[in-house]
Chains A and B, each alone.
Chain A
Amino acid sequence: MQLLVFAALSLSVAADSIVSTQILSETSVEASPAVVRPHITSTTPVQSLQAEAMQKLGITDVSEALKLMNGVSVKDYGGLGGMKCVSIRNLGATHTGVLYDGIPVSNAQAGQIDVARFGSQHLSEVRIGIGATQDVLTPAAVESYSGLLSLSSRNCNQAQVSYGSWNTLNVSSCYELTEGLSANANYRHTDGDYPFRIKNGDTWVKGNRNNDRVDDLNAELNYRSRYWQVKGAGYFNDRRLPGSIILYNYSSHEHMREANGLLQAQYLHPIGTHWKLVARAKYNHAMTHYNDGNQLENDVASAQHIYNYRQNEYYASGGGMGMFSTGPVRTRVSALYDVLHAALHSNLRTARSVQRTTHFGVLRADATYRKHTLQGALLYTLNREKDNKRQAWSPTLSANLQVWGNSRQSVHLRWMSRKAFRLPTFNEMYYYIYGSHNLKPEQAREHNLGITYGVWFEGVQLSVTADAYRYRVDDKLIAFPTAFAWKVGNLGKAESRGVELSMHVSVGSSCPIELSANYQWQDARNLDDPTNPNTYRKQLPYMPKQTANGAVTVHTRWADVGYTMQWMDERYSSTMNTFRYRLEPFCEHSLTLSRRWANFELQGTLQNLTDEQYAVIQYYPMPGRQYRITCKYFF
């Protein structure tokens, strides 16, 4: 048994240690189906959720997995069709990078990724890293982000059908065609017209969401070999957008269609035992058609209500790393150069055709001495479009020191300081009068200090982490009002500080129980305008003082049980912290039961058990109690 525990521990450490130079998809640890697992030897907070845990917890897409992680908030506009963007430590979705099988996912137009489009069935791992990346071969293009969401796909052989509330149907399958070549597809439909209750002043009013129908299809072909990882994928979606609840007027007529195709490849080649080369490339084509049916059918050329966007993105990356040992000191250095070219064509009169080329160059180095690690990175970014040129330097320094430990337990301290930034999006630059051409990047200075503890006894694993952080954002992109409309400017300032506590416990072997629990306290304040007492030093919008979440899985002879909980304290939808903008605290519980017979599995999920009526975004009510029945067949 001790050997087994040790094996699990070794895998766990290898997965999060910087000593691992493998790409993320190869670091998935299927042997350790933890709930949400905080990593204790990383220099910055890292958490991951594995495939088996996601299945036991009834998770169907990435947004549901992220709701169980610490320091992560999902801006959820409600329902299957509602956009779900991930914000790490509440810096905003545009500060979060997304890697899918090692290659950046980007959206130059809006700057934020709707993570609900990624189904979880074919994923081996969902990982969140805050601050510096732990892998020296991570693409340079994501180095500037304050947080990194990494999704790793897997080969699997299963088919599943699920049906649930509001005529929600999900059919998905993944299949290994030949060795190394696999395919997966996922189709979803919902009518989405769920009932809600919302407060109009002192009165609760009832209604049903309307214009909520969604159909989407996601299909992928993956090839994996020792050196190669190649992906071809297509995504199509047709959805109605219910919009926010406007009191006395619930009608909505917005409609959106999206089509997305991509081809990406990664080649990783070791040279001898000390060197490794990596090359990556991607082509992504995205089309969006948006019809703002709320604009009445006045046939006026100037009243645009149909918007067509076409984006082409070309990405290439190359670099290498060297590994050296001098006595007990192991050192790695890497250099990567990425270039990303994005072109947007639209029927906007202010953005018929705009292009952006961004160059990223990063040098990374780390040194490991026994159980201590020091890591540094320096990113240079150069961005060109039209007559604008922007450049920025982003240094990062982080360390993890084992201050105490033996073969069964250890205490680590970690520290990170960095300067991160984000470029303005195409929308911020070109969307009619709202856009401004001469924007600077938004700057963030980040500091993190943490302590971690891990202990392993026979049949028991426990890891606990505590991190404190302080962020300051300058040149924040916010609206500059005019007498006619508003316009984006580098005008904002914000500061946040917080504490995050995470715990993961795994107990037992015959009836294993796993538990994860997270708590975050945060004080995030607006520093925009010292002369405005209504907003200066007030709590930033959608930033709760406290959040907590937890997950438990229990394996019994009869069934697997998964339970999740998410709690959020009061917050405000505006920097004016008054009753009009207050969102009530909420607590949502979900329960999943799974039973497997040979190749067949039946799963039932009850989400929002207590039928809590709440909203994450004001006037976008979330669904109440809902059920889902899933049948799975394993080939």
Chain B
Amino acid sequence: MDRNAILNELKKVLTPYTENKELLNGITEETDLIKDLKINSANLVDIIIDAESAYNIEIDFDSAEKMYLVGNCIDVILDKMNQSA
């Protein structure tokens, strides 16, 4: 799976936690989940849990801390997918 495919999948994971759905149309790897998408910081945990089941991976505490930009999320997801492959 390439980065673009993951970005598109990630959009679906982010949708329920993004109040203004239109913001999702313009997301790039530089999009900040809290600052740009205005996601409630407590919901980052739910996003991580949803991403785990979407990609069948396990995300540890240290990796979770890095997941604040869309690009970082893709890095962590790719890294974990390669580990479990």
| A, B bound | no
- Please give the residue numbers on chain A whose beta carbons come within 8 Å of chain B beta carbons, in ascending order: none
Q: Residues of B with Cβ closer than 8 Å to A?
A: none
